[in-house]
Amino acid sequence: MSDINANIDDKENKTLLIACGAVAKEIIALNKLNGWNHLDITCLPAIWHNTPDKIPQGVRSKIQENKDVYGNIVVVYGDCGTGGELDRILEEEDVKRIDGVHCYAFFTGLGAFDQMHEDDITCFYLTDYLVRHFDTLIMEGMGIAKHPELLPMYFGNYTKLVYLAQTEDQELQELAKQAAGKIGLDYQYKFTGYGELSSFMSAINQEI
């Protein structure tokens, strides 16, 4: 009986973050910075942002695979183009997620991002992850590398690329400038740090 109780206690003290692969590096960095060794992470492919219909069921599968092991499961995804389907599934599974429609918003701060978008709706945003993988996810993933004639279709209504940076990295800033050039947009840099991802994870840690 004591072994059973020990297993129950162990489960209740364990927290799993189900996250988009695009924010994995930031979550790991925050875990290390704050010594949150009891927060585990599992990720789904970041490239699913190109096919967001995969995200809700992918998250549900991760929840169901792990709910007998972890007493607390939290999702680190915005809506990410699922049209509310992700939130519907999370309500059914009784699992909460970080606030925001996408990672741009929770890195920048929800209110601040809404204001940015209202001030200029012609901006295309990149994070650290998207800068690192721009060619794979954008140029190749969207078919532009093979079919450059698609470029106006995807980016014809944008005027600038805004790099929302989580880290102050000169190499990434240069890559972001190059990315802007590849898709014919003006370049703007804004340092956000980890934004509301940090406060969200802090709140999870305090609940444990």
Asked if residue 106 lies in contact with residue 196, where contact means CB atoms within 8 angstroms, the answer is: yes
Are 22 and 80 members of one domain?
yes
Residue found by looking up tokens 């297993």 in the block: 7
What confidence tens digit (pLDDT) does each residue in 105-122 have?
999 999 999 999 999 999
Are 94 and 129 members of one domain?
no
CA atoms of 98 and 18, how far apart (whole Å): 11
CA atoms of 167 and 191, how far apart (whole Å): 7
According to the model, what pLDDT value does residue 3 have? 40
Residue 20: phi, psi to the nearest 5?
A: -70, 140
Residue 147 region by backbone torsions, left for phi larger than 0, else alpha for psi between -120 and 50, else beta: beta
What confidence tens digit (pLDDT) does each residue in 1-19 have?
434 333 444 566 789 999 9
- Kindly provide the b/e burial profile for residues 89-108, where b requires at least 16 CB atoms within 10 angstroms of the residue's own CB: bbeeeebebbebebbbbbbb
Range of the domain at 73: 2-103+195-207
According to the model, what pLDDT value does residue 38 have? 80
Are 187 and 199 members of one domain?
no
Are 92 and 45 members of one domain?
yes
Are 83 and 14 members of one domain?
yes
Going by DSSP bridges, is the β-strand pair 72-76/15-20 parallel, antiparallel, or unpaired?
Answer: parallel
3-state helix, strand, coil in the chain (%, to 5): 55, 15, 25
- What is the tally of structural domains in the chain? 2
SS3 assignment, position 17: strand
What confidence tens digit (pLDDT) does each residue in 174-187 have?
999 999 999 999 99
Are 184 and 129 members of one domain?
yes
How many Å separate Cα 36 from the centre of its chain?
Answer: 19
Intervals of the chain under pLDDT 70 = 1-12, 208
Are 99 and 180 members of one domain?
no
Are 83 and 146 members of one domain?
no
SS3 assignment, position 73: strand
Are 14 and 87 members of one domain?
yes
Closest-CA residue to 179 (of 119, 117, 136, 150): 136
Asked if residue 105 lies in contact with residue 113, where contact means CB atoms within 8 angstroms, the answer is: yes
How many Å separate Cα 4 from the centre of its chain?
Answer: 36
pTM: 0.88
Are 96 and 12 members of one domain?
yes
Are 81 and 120 members of one domain?
no
Cα-Cα end-to-end distance for the chain: 24
* Tokens found for residue 206: 């305090």
CA atoms of 32 and 29, how far apart (whole Å): 5
CATH number, domain of 65, equals: 3.40.50
Are 91 and 128 members of one domain?
no
